[in-house]
């Protein structure tokens, strides 16, 4: 069970990191949504990252 949760947390971290990298690219599809959408998405990523850190602490 613990290994499954650890794997899940790592997978989510990877997905968020890749999403962040995609958003950072100047030709990303996310730039077509305007500044408001980029800001909202950035906040969402920050909240997900904070939740993942909380999960990591629980697993430690």
Query: Does 55 reside within a domain?
Result: yes
Query: Does 40 reside within a domain?
Result: yes
Q: How many CB atoms lie within 10 A of CB 54?
A: 10
Contact 49, 16 (CB under 8 A): yes
pTM, whole model, 2 decimals? 0.58
Query: Does 16 reside within a domain?
Result: no
Query: Does 42 reside within a domain?
Result: yes
pLDDT tens, position by position, 13-43: 888 888 888 878 888 877 777 788 778 888 8
pLDDT tens, position by position, 39-49: 888 888 888 88
Query: Does 8 reside within a domain?
Result: no
Query: Does 18 reside within a domain?
Result: no
- Cα-flanking dihedrals φ and ψ of residue 26, to 5°? -65, -20
**Count of domains for the chain:** 1
Tokens of 43: 């906040």
Q: Which domain holds residue 57?
A: 36-60
């Amino acid at each position: 069970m613990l290994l499954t949760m650890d794997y899940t947390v790592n997978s989510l971290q990877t997905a968020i990191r890749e999403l962040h990298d995609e958003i950072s690219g100047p030709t990303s599809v996310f730039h077509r949504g305007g500044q408001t959408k980029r800001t909202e998405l950035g906040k969402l990523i920050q909240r997900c990252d904070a939740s993942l850190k909380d999960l990591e602490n629980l697993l430690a």
